[in-house]
Structure 1
Amino acid sequence: MKLSLFSIAAIVPFVAAHFKLEYPTSRGFDEDKMPEFPCGGLPQSSNRTRLSLSADTVPIALILGHSRTAVEVLLGLGNNPGDNYNITLAHTFGVTGLGAFCLPSVSLKGVPLTDGLNATVQVVTNGDSGGGLYACADVTFTSTITSDDVSPTVCKNNTGVTATPFSGAAAARNANESTNDGQAQSGSGSSGSSSTSGTAATATSTGAAVPLETAAWGMIGAALVGGLAAL
């Protein structure tokens, strides 16, 4: 079965003040719990998205409820990674605009994948009053993808949604410690050091750093890809 993730989302405003992880399929959405690390306080899901073992990228689709957002994508391997999201799929970068935002080709190169491996994708953003917001999707990498597996058929940005690369310390800083423009939040460290205490807990941001790509970014997208590839 094929689903168009943004057939409705593109025209219906997202009124919540946070964000939603649309693909891979998230554990759920609870706006009140989103500041809780890890995974917005939601338990592991039995509804795992099956991802092709042979693919070297994965799309990440979001609905953004803040006009400016710092975003980071992490991966934890295993049936239940707990708080061990130690692979960085996308270093912290900035997004301006509301609604649909998609990274169609987040690289998995360098990640030690095996057939049947369970893992969890965690998207981290900055909170609007300090700390971070968290959402997770449980996935399984498999060599037996079928036509029944759900995948996005549309992966696009809403009108006016653009991304901006952060560089240096701003890119290395975890999104939950970042401001919209890549500066350190008040009271946070200057880099993405590991911590798991409190609602502003920091997921370890080490591992395979990869460039980002999105559809129809034009010159801004090209700058982001180049900036992150240089990290």
Structure 2
Amino acid sequence: MAIPVLIIGKSGMGKSASLRNCAGNPDWNLIRVLNKPLPFKGKIDGWNTDDYQTVMKCLIQSKAKNIVIDDAGYLITNMFMSKHSAAGGGNGVFTLYNQIGDHFWNLIQFIIEKVPADKIVYVIMHEEANELGEIKPKTIGKLLDEKVCIEGMFTIVLRCIVESNKHLFVTQAADGAVSKSPIGMFEDAVIDNDMLLVEKAIRDYYEIGGKENNAETK
């Protein structure tokens, strides 16, 4: 069972930028749902696709110990935008929303059940506030929010914020936003926005492979 990690935040809060220290590291692969440039110099090997089946194949084929699905929320958005006109109204739209929910739920289940146990898969999504002001991953339709609760499928949810011009990860729930991590995994409620540090904390906590490669982050 791979470890899924959810990363949320507004645009410009440092979600993709948290990968800056992973550039050129063979232990990292990147699946880009949107084919846009990274916000830092360097390259992370991987793929560009918004097709669910291709994403799953990449997750299995990857030899890296860490795999990032960047802009994962656009798997939902792109599917909706490419199919909603053809769906028509009534039952057609209802069926489309069900398909959107099924596909994303199946992807998370695939990560948990099919990807090898020594891998960590980071799912990066934008955030939004619901009618109660609670901040959660941004989706389309009520199925994923009300019936699934995406964040509930993850033990680790980190939120990207900026304070005093510094990009940070929030590791525990705060200010009406979903953030969570196992007791003792992170020493502080707010940590540096650095995915290498996150990986080290996760691997040390669960005692899974990759410590040798992470020694440089100490």
- What is the TM-score when the length of structure 2 is the normalising length? 0.28
Structure holding more strand per residue:
1
Q: Which has the larger radius of gyration?
A: 2
Structure holding more helix per residue:
2
